[in-house]
Structure 1
């Protein structure tokens, strides 16, 4: 009888441990959230949704920009008539940055020509006036490329710590319950502690896509900004002298 009782005790303990491990899941975690747990979970959910929103928006925007950039720039330089080239730029979507930079340079040139003989024309040469317009245009379009990057950087850097806060809080509550009940068996510890660790996983799930996307978009923006600068320099030469630097060298 004693042997049967001793053999049944480990079996019962094993059954309790298995039942505790089966309860250690997301559904059980949601059902046992307290006020702080809900705050952490909702915060991580909002962070994840915001990051995925900007990931999708920037991915679509960058794909469109990459698909149009070379075509817009090449068409502008390959069009023999300047008015036709400017008209082509005006037909581009509002979100296309290269056409907006070219239009700002053309508008600055036209404005300076209309002010010929005025104090404006005397104080600033056409080259200086066009250069100022191009700098403003490049800065404006560069800032537009950075939409959402602050959100991605914030989520990527802070979401793991928000998840860790949920884990610490969950373990703290679990230890309080264990101390109050006096039961420190695996069946009493595994569930609450395991559920608390899930909050850290939530933080990582929110942070990792945001961090990877942030690094990818920063690299893309760096390449695009270099293209902006190159195009702006060529535009400055064109509108200030009537020809690109390469064309001037060939003519010479």
Structure 2
């Protein structure tokens, strides 16, 4: 379709350099501002892409800070737990960690599960009879790891959505621009390039904007997916050691 438009434009043979000057982003915005009704779809596409870009960059920055913080805290928090002289001091050290710190929350859930089992066992409650101490702690650790792993996924769905859909949103602007070019050619009977340069330029710009929005989002999604997988593996390793500690009373090396 684009090839047909350019062939028709070449046949018109009128001042191509002046027409090409109408294909820039500045001209697109001026045309959209001057004729908001005519460019309603273009406005919707452009504003949608701007919103998608802002949202993806917001979650990219948030995830960068979170990944950096977790990387620096992981070794420190786990060392605090294992270097404590006894279980009570270890639990107290975990309670002093920030509410957003995941490793301490996993440890506290395991400690609470072990304490609850011990109390239930002392009074002969049904949970102590139906589950062993190891199973009870293991269940609590699985739930804690699942919860903290889910927290790592904040913003990932949005990044995936932006990366996969923004090219198609831009393509909508492309299709609409080509449609506008064909309408202008049919209405004016002028197949010169100045009649179609603006709409075609708009079409190409919308496509480019869609790609500029999608590419960083895709890179960010892949990057954070790899980082999150490594962090979840650390959760699992810490949880296994916690299970041995609270189920048997000592850490298995």
Shared fold (TM-score greater than 0.5)? yes
For the pair 1:152 / 2:159, whether they are aligned, the reply is: yes
For the pair 1:122 / 2:121, whether they are aligned, the reply is: no
Quote the RMSD (CA, aligned, Å). Answer: 1.5
Question: Residues 1-252 of structure 1: matches in 2 within 5 Å?
Answer: 16-33=15-32, 34-116=39-121, 117-246=124-253
How far apart are the structure 2 equivalents of 1:25 and 1:215? 32
| Counterpart position of 1:6 | none
Q: What secondary structure is seen at the aligned counterpart in 2 of 1:245?
A: coil
**1:71, CA displacement in angstroms?**
1.0
Q: What secondary structure is seen at the aligned counterpart in 2 of 1:243?
A: coil
Instruction: Give the TM-score of the pair, scaled to structure 2.
Output: 0.89
How far apart are the structure 2 equivalents of 1:162 and 1:192? 17
Comparing 113-122 and 228-237, the one that deviates more = 113-122
Rg: which structure is higher?
1
- Unmatched runs of 5 consecutive residues or more in structure 2: 1-11, 33-38
How far apart are the structure 2 equivalents of 1:73 and 1:197? 53
How far apart are the structure 2 equivalents of 1:90 and 1:174? 65
Q: How many residues matched?
A: 234
How far apart are the structure 2 equivalents of 1:92 and 1:80? 18
**1:93, CA displacement in angstroms?**
0.9
Instruction: Give the TM-score of the pair, scaled to structure 1.
Output: 0.89
How far apart are the structure 2 equivalents of 1:102 and 1:207? 39
How far apart are the structure 2 equivalents of 1:180 and 1:88? 76
- Unmatched runs of 5 consecutive residues or more in structure 1: 1-12, 247-252
**1:15, CA displacement in angstroms?**
8.6
Per-residue CA deviations over 1:77-118 (Å, capped at 9, x if unaligned) read: 121221111111111111111110000000111111111222
How far apart are the structure 2 equivalents of 1:30 and 1:220? 39
